[in-house]
Chains A and B, each alone.
Chain A
């Protein structure tokens, strides 16, 4: 028995057009969420329709599992993706993920869904070349589902509670995995306290994305100095409420990563090198980097060969949240 109101249509196309007309999509067509499909998604994830995944108190919104399943179907997810989407929704609804502010802000922040653990390979979540872009159903639809939940359930509707001045294409979908197989480092989720075999989602708000491109440096210090300059140009935001819980995500590609592998640098060593450089008082042309602690620097191995760059995901006012992906 569904909790949501049922609608009826004469044809598939009529249903798709109606959802577009009602403002229930991101502007792209959706898969009609039939009660049978939604029930299958819930069953796969071992969730009951009324299981509460979280709240947005300022909007007087409670998000239940059925809300998330309906939007996951609409996004084009396979049933196997539902546990990932549910974990990401739980992360979005954690207090310090700051759903209200990150989805309402004038800055148009997006959310990166970063997947770790065995489920990346089981679902074919791209972690390598092209992982920020189109072409992989899991990346595309999991990220889209999270955004549809923000829009339809959490009411982050452009012009209503989404007040973005420009918004960003990353709000259509932004999901990728960590390339654990080619990485010399401890995976993100293990650094954050999970077992290697536990699949997880880390949700990080993204106000800006900038590329620290450096094809000249041939050693870890040189690469990290370039990254530091890039981070300091745009800064890292924070406030009294977040306190020390601020972070920045560095997505390091293969060309930069190999210098660290060759030199035997761990993520911990990288953070220890970067933290004082990042948090030194800002100068002309720089913005404050309000990182409260060095483990606020999250390093993720992802991307392909060729371009010597590391992408910096500057946060909005939120702490990146990692949640386990619960498989029924």
Chain B
């Protein structure tokens, strides 16, 4: 048993670091309205998530004057969108909607 000079036990932290690591990324400000927005719809590829996102967009259209949608269907819950899809999402979209689970 490892002990230091005062006969105390020394052990090692088993983690890859604290869970509350400081993240420089910030959330964008919440929009007052979706009028004039382009909606990003990111389906995670499970079940009928694509249909769910389409239905969600139809509901949002009833609430606001949307300009359009950018739809992304991921190949798996396990991977992020393809780089080209990221580019479209970050350059064209005002608000993006996604989900998780399976």
Contact = CB atoms under 8 A, between A and B. Distances in A.
A7 B2 CA distance: 11
Chain B at the A interface: SS class: loop
Contact of B11 (A33, A163, A239): A33
Nearest to B101: A106
Interface stretch (B26-34, B52-60, B61-69, B75-83): B75-83
B16 A241 contact: no
Interface string A223-245: 00000000000000001111000
Interface size class of A (residues with CB under 8 A): 35 or more
A6 B14 contact: no
A166 interface: no
Contacts of A98: 78
- Sorting the interface of chain B by its residue count into under 10, 10 to 19, 20 to 34 or 35 or more gives 20 to 34
Interface in A102-153: 105-107, 148, 152-153
Given A106-B101, A155-B19, A317 B77 contact: yes
Given A6-B11, A10-B9, A240-B45, A154 B78 contact: no
B76 A240 contact: yes
A9 B13 CA distance: 13
A5 B102 contact: no
A246 to B, nearest CB: 12
A125 B74 CA distance: 41
B1 interface: yes
Contacts, number: 107
B15 interface: yes
A74 B14 contact: yes
A153 B14 CA distance: 7
Contact of A239 (B4, B12, B15, B45): B45
Given A12-B1, A106-B102, A160-B19, A34 B12 contact: yes
A262 interface: no
A2 interface: yes
A33 B14 contact: yes
B84 interface: no
A70 B75 contact: no
> Lowest 10 A-B CB distances belong to which pairs?
A241-B76, A34-B2, A240-B75, A101-B78, A4-B12, A241-B75, A5-B13, A239-B76, A152-B14, A70-B14
Given A101-B76, A239-B45, 11 more contacts: A5-B12, A5-B13, A32-B9, A38-B12, A67-B14, A67-B16, A152-B14, A157-B19, A241-B74, A242-B76, A317-B76
